[in-house]
């Protein structure tokens, strides 16, 4: 690669990494706006701490598990000035940064499901395990060459599994991990009456919820478009498809929820989750339909979880990321077909195998990691701590200390 091209690619990927990094602010604000006031500080500290734990786990172990690359050479080699195979100007370093922000999205997703009753340090330990081992195994299998699975699917079904920006690798995996975590953790105390009927717990702050959704939406265009990872691979199709899926999710969730603000803002995210996999191969009309289906699915599945299935997933991360990510992986194999206006290069059978396999692996990982922590160190706050709130119980301060201070 010549100097200009390599330098451009470094800047391009760095910009993408910064945009996805900013999405973690969106995750935090979305959770802050959804949980009760007594748990808002905990939401902020969890998201930031999980990002740090994820980066450490990914740097020392996870990236090597996924791609067989580590960063223990001298700095000359790391920036391409010594022997070793690192791209010039440190391209591999910013690529790591970019992919590390993807990895950190997994515990950020889980955080929303287990909110208001999870212990802090066991969750940090779960993050280390998930990002050091389980997530990179799936990442390396789909986006790398681990286990030869992509080659096998290409030979068997005509095309490899296609997941351009992580509907399955990031979102479905994270959402299904969260389901395993929520099932191990149990429901919040006071969520259901003795007869099983739901006790409503409304969001604490709609403006924070909305701001979090907006920050995530803006960052998502870095998440999707810059998944090309080189300037030569950039296409406006990814940007337009992301936009169409987002508005599709907004419109359908707006209608089916009867303008509920929580559902409308999460509907935008549902559409974006679903389109990640096929955003580079779908026609914009296919992306619009994909987003619309995801918006409908999120509202329906969230209500089924909370009311009928008694699964207390606080932010609805299993419906939003787990089910909508799974749906996006499958629909990439449908709307990516040339017969439906797509660019082709996808196989519906590969999409079925890859999508179901990724979701199943995430669910198994969630059950295993949180199940082991539950029987060894415990993962749930005691009843008094949960009643008082995670803010005071874990961090010894509320989100509004002046308001909550005794009057002098």
- Considering the entire predicted model, what is its pTM? 0.97
- Which of 72-76, 87-91, 94-98 is the most confident on average? 94-98
pLDDT at 408: 54
Closest-CA residue to 289 (of 277, 271, 267, 301): 271
pLDDT at 4: 66
Higher confidence at residue 405 or residue 309?
A: 309
Where along the chain do its domains lie? 3-396
pLDDT at 141: 98
**pLDDT confidence band for 78 (50 / 70 / 90):** confident
pLDDT at 407: 59
3-state secondary structure of 85: coil
298 near 353, Cβ under 8 Å?
no
**Measured between alpha carbons, how far is 354 from 268 in angstroms, rounded to an integer?**
25
User: At which residue do the structure tokens 């990094």 appear?
Assistant: 21
Residue 198 dihedral angles phi and psi, to the nearest 5°:
-80, 140
- Average per-residue pLDDT for the chain: 95
113 near 178, Cβ under 8 Å?
yes
Share of the chain above pLDDT 90, in %: 91
Higher confidence at residue 408 or residue 68?
A: 68
285 near 243, Cβ under 8 Å?
no
pLDDT at 347: 98
Closest-CA residue to 1 (of 97, 96, 86, 67): 86
**pLDDT confidence band for 308 (50 / 70 / 90):** very high
3-state secondary structure of 114: coil
- DSSP category for residue 278: T
**CATH class of segment(s) 3-396:** mainly alpha
pLDDT at 80: 75
Residue 345's Cβ-count burial label (10 Å; 0-12, 13-18, 19+) is: middle
pLDDT at 53: 98
Residue 380 dihedral angles phi and psi, to the nearest 5°:
-120, 140
**Which positions ≥6 away from 142 have C-beta within 8 Å?**
149, 150, 161, 163, 168, 169, 354, 358
**pLDDT confidence band for 273 (50 / 70 / 90):** very high
* pLDDT of 1 above 60: no
* pLDDT of 345 above 80: yes
**Measured between alpha carbons, how far is 247 from 135 in angstroms, rounded to an integer?**
30
- Residue-wise pLDDT for 36-47, tens only, equals 999 999 999 999
Written as six digits, the tokens of 358 are: 């990724």
From residue 360, give the alpha-carbon distance in Å to each of 10, 183, 199, 257, 354: 35, 15, 31, 29, 10
The sign of the torsion formed by the CA atoms of 296, 297, 300, 303 equals negative
3-state secondary structure of 389: coil
Kindly report which listed range (71-80, 309-318, 339-348, 355-364) carries the lowest average pLDDT score: 71-80
Kindly report which listed range (22-36, 84-98, 275-289) carries the lowest average pLDDT score: 84-98
pLDDT at 209: 98
Give the per-residue SS3 of 285-313.
HHHHHHHHHHHHHHHHHHHHHHHHCCCCC
Written as six digits, the tokens of 65 are: 């598990």
């Amino acid at each position: 690669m010549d100097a200009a091209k390599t330098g451009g690619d470094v800047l391009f990927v760095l910009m993408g990494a910064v945009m996805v990094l900013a999405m973690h602010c969106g995750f935090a604000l979305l959770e802050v706006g959804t949980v009760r006031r007594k748990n808002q500080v905990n939401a902020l500290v969890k998201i930031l701490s999980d990002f740090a734990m994820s980066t450490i786990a990914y740097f020392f172990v996870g990236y090597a598990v996924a791609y067989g690359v580590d960063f223990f050479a001298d700095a000359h080699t790391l920036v391409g000035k010594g022997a070793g195979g690192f791209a010039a100007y440190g391209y591999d370093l910013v690529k790591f940064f970019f992919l590390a922000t993807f990895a950190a999205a997994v515990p950020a997703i889980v955080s929303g499901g287990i909110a208001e009753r999870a212990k802090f340090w066991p969750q940090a330990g779960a993050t280390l395990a998930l990002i050091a081992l389980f997530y990179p195994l799936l990442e390396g299998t789909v986006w790398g060459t681990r286990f030869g699975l992509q080659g096998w699917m290409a030979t068997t079904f005509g095309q490899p599994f296609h997941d351009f920006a992580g509907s399955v690798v990031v979102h479905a995996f994270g959402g299904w991990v969260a389901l395993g975590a929520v099932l191990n953790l149990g429901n919040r105390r006071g969520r259901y009456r003795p007869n099983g009927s739901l006790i409503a717990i409304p969001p604490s702050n709609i403006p924070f919820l909305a701001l979090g959704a907006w920050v995530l939406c803006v960052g998502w265009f870095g998440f999707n478009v810059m998944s090309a990872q080189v300037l030569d691979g950039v296409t406006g199709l990814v940007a337009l498809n992301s936009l169409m899926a987002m508005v599709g999710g907004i419109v359908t969730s707006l209608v089916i929820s009867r303008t509920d603000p929580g559902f409308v803002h999460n509907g935008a995210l549902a559409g974006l989750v679903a389109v990640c996999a096929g955003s580079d191969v779908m026609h914009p009309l296919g992306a619009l339909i994909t987003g619309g289906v995801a918006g409908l699915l999120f509202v329906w599945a969230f209500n089924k979880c909370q009311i009928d299935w008694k699964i207390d997933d606080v932010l609805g991360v299993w419906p939003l990321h787990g089910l909508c990510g799974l749906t996006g992986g499958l629909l990439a194999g449908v709307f990516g077909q040339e017969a439906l206006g797509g660019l082709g290069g996808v196989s519906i059978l590969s999409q079925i195998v890859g999508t179901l396999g990724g979701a199943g692996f995430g669910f198994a990982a969630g059950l295993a990691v949180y199940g082991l922590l539950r029987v060894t160190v415990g993962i749930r706050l005691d009843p008094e701590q949960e009643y008082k709130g995670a803010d005071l119980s874990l961090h010894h301060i509320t989100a509004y200390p002046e308001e909550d201070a005794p009057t002098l």
